[in-house]
Amino acid sequence: MAEHMTLQSVDMIEEVVSAVDAASDELRRLSLEIFNNPETIFVEFKACELLSNWLENRGWKVSRGVYGLKTAFEARFSLVEGGRTVCFNAEYDALPGLGHACGHNLIATSSLASAVALEHVLKTHRFPGTIVVMGTPGEESGGGKWIMATNGAWKGFDACVMTHGMRNFSTPLCLTKASWKLRARFHGQSAHAATAPWTGLNACDAIVHAYTAISMLRQHLEKGSTIQGCILEAGKASNIIPDYAEGLFSIRAPTMQKLDELKSRFEPIFGAAAAATGCSVELDWTALYEDVVSNETLAEQYRNYMIQHLGIEPEQLLTLEESRMLHDQPGCSDFGSCSYICPGIQAMFSINATDFPHSIGFREASAGEFAHQEALKAGQANALISLDVLINHDFADKVKAEFIAVMKKGGRWNRHLVFIPREIYPVQGSFRPMSAGIVS
């Protein structure tokens, strides 16, 4: 491979574009099959089989049930040993009761489009390098990529890119928050609420205590940090002291560093509520969403290809600066965990939906032809920047140098080496109920 080979020098741009265009009908079929058979968090068995079988039939080496998740897969394609490795993430989970209202069928399609294009280029030019399609389930509420990351996914890859549909704007830059999800289970002791309440430990009081303390904490949150929560269960009848209460909570902050700080103020609330009521509490940090760290070298190049070669007008695709100013997302993406391990972007493309993601309007647009074509175009741009990583040494070095610098500056470097995957631990309240003997 020549030291300064570029896509233009061998006309690979046209090869990428035409390979995706030729696969359009087949990719639409796969997208609609996933769309019409929605499967939720970690039970995406049909979609996982559909995509992994399809890649296997094309000659890819496929491993199923990888990195700690039954419905994850990793597919690899390489013809000549050595070279760099690029990855495309395919999501395929749907929302409970709403189906594909986040358009993850389009994410799968877009990443397969990139994969098909690079497979074609590798077959034509036979240079060293590996393409990977990572099947990543459970994005919605499951933090699937966090689980995969803690089990070794994406290690040593030179880039990993993916896309996501958006209601009405397109950007190469995804900005999301870091978030932990917590399930808290308070355990008390039941008693007759009128006859012998002193023999009980009130789990409803404990969770209300925690909820109230969280409300007080909100005044002291830094800009960009938020806490959401709901009580799922807190008793069954008014004449029984509730012995069990359960709630779900999310804390969010702009970066993982800020999230760690918020967690250190948030978590003691539950121990304090247990102490105040004599209950015990079990804290189950169920899913972590690290903030997405977008590689700006990749993002700029994505925009360049879109405008110079894929027919997008400059005003149709936000600049990086506009993205930072206008679209700082209050939400989260589990792509954050991936972006802490190797350089990457999650570009967003408009699907012209009547409503935001997680709505019926967004679901309807996710099955439409406009969304399909935009997903393919995003897949073409991602294929082109990934091809740059494979063949253009200077570009690959620049991508890597930016990644290392940003990780070190943000205190993110090697975070996964010291990371504890999942924490469930009990906190015991400090007093016991009075004995029943006091009744008389």
By CB under 5 A, name the binding residues for Zn ion: 102
**Whose Cβ is closer to Zn ion: residue 62's or residue 287's?**
287
Length of the chain: 440
Dihedral, CA atoms, 372, 107, 300, 327, nearest 10 degrees?
100
Least distance to Zn ion from the beta carbon of 306, Å? Answer: 21
Least distance to Zn ion from the beta carbon of 143, Å? Answer: 12
Least distance to Zn ion from the beta carbon of 104, Å? Answer: 6
Q: From start to end of 70-225, where are the E strands?
A: 73-77, 85-90, 130-135, 159-166, 178-187
**Whose Cβ is closer to Zn ion: residue 102's or residue 288's?**
102
Q: How many CB atoms lie within 10 A of CB 56?
A: 14
Report residue 348 as tokens: 């967003």
Least distance to Zn ion from the beta carbon of 142, Å? Answer: 11
Alpha helices in 81-202 (DSSP H): 104-125, 144-150
**Whose Cβ is closer to Zn ion: residue 104's or residue 400's?**
104
Least distance to Zn ion from the beta carbon of 199, Å? Answer: 46
Least distance to Zn ion from the beta carbon of 271, Å? Answer: 32
How far is Cα 245 from Cα 206, in angstroms, rounded to an integer?
8
**Whose Cβ is closer to Zn ion: residue 32's or residue 193's?**
32
**Whose Cβ is closer to Zn ion: residue 84's or residue 363's?**
363
Contacts of 312 (CB under 8 A, 6+ apart): 170, 306, 377
- Is 34 in contact with 100 (CB distance < 8 Å)? yes
Least distance to Zn ion from the beta carbon of 439, Å? Answer: 53
DSSP 201: B
**Whose Cβ is closer to Zn ion: residue 102's or residue 227's?**
102
Least distance to Zn ion from the beta carbon of 134, Å? Answer: 16
**Whose Cβ is closer to Zn ion: residue 139's or residue 205's?**
139
The closest alpha carbon to 436, from 91, 249, 199, belongs to: 199
Query: Which secondary-structure segment (H or E) carries 266?
Result: helix 256-266
3-state SS assignment for residue 372: helix
The closest alpha carbon to 16, from 392, 388, 383, belongs to: 383
Report residue 144 as tokens: 């699937």
**Whose Cβ is closer to Zn ion: residue 102's or residue 396's?**
102
Relative to beta strand 130-135, strand 159-166 is unpaired
* Residue whose C-beta lies closest to Zn ion: 102
